[in-house]
């Protein structure tokens, strides 16, 4: 079970860490997404920091299990918020969102099973 937990957690951490970098370096994609969802561009670095915190929290969960659980739960909530932002503006382009959300749910699930069952 540890191999599954470690693989999914590390994959999720790399995924969200790389997304955080894209948000924090000022890349045009997150800005365009914020514009499409009618969010202020000033939120882009904040969203990037949230992704970075989730990524680091997942890794921290190897040392402090509760930290990893809370980080994974936070990422699930983050992507539920992203879904609401998409639906609010009528966007139905949810393929990328689905991949990110499924990864967050998988990270939370393996964390709960590995540490708390």
Per residue, what are the HEC states of 30-44?
HHHHHHHCCCCCCHH
Domain-by-domain residue ranges, the chain? 2-116
pTM for the model stands at 0.95
pLDDT band at 96 (very low <50, low <70, confident <90, very high): very high
Percent of the chain exceeding pLDDT 70 equals 100
pLDDT of residue 117 exceeding 90: no
pLDDT tens-digit map of 22-36: 999 999 999 999 999
| Mean pLDDT along residues 6-20 | 98
pLDDT 10s digits, 43-74: 999 999 999 999 999 999 999 999 999 999 99
Q: DSSP of the chain, one letter per residue?
A: -HHHHHHHHHHHHHHHHHHHHHHHTT-HHHHHHHHHTT--TTHHHHHHHHHHHHHHHHHHTTTSHHHHHHHHHHHHHHHHHHHHHHHHTT----HHHHHHHHHHHHHHHHHHHHHH-
pLDDT at residue 30, rounded to an integer: 96
């Amino acid at each position: 079970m540890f191999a599954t937990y470690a693989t999914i957690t590390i994959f999720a951490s790399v995924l969200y860490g790389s997304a955080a970098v894209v948000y924090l370096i000022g890349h045009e994609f997150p800005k365009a997404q914020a514009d499409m969802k009618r969010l202020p561009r000033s939120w882009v670095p904040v969203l990037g920091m949230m992704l970075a915190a989730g990524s680091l929290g997942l890794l921290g969960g190897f040392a402090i299990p509760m930290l990893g659980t809370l980080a994974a739960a936070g990422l699930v909530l983050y992507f539920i918020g992203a879904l609401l932002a998409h639906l609010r503006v009528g966007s139905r382009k949810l393929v990328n969102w689905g991949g990110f959300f499924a990864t967050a749910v998988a990270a939370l699930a393996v964390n709960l099973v590995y540490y708390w069952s």
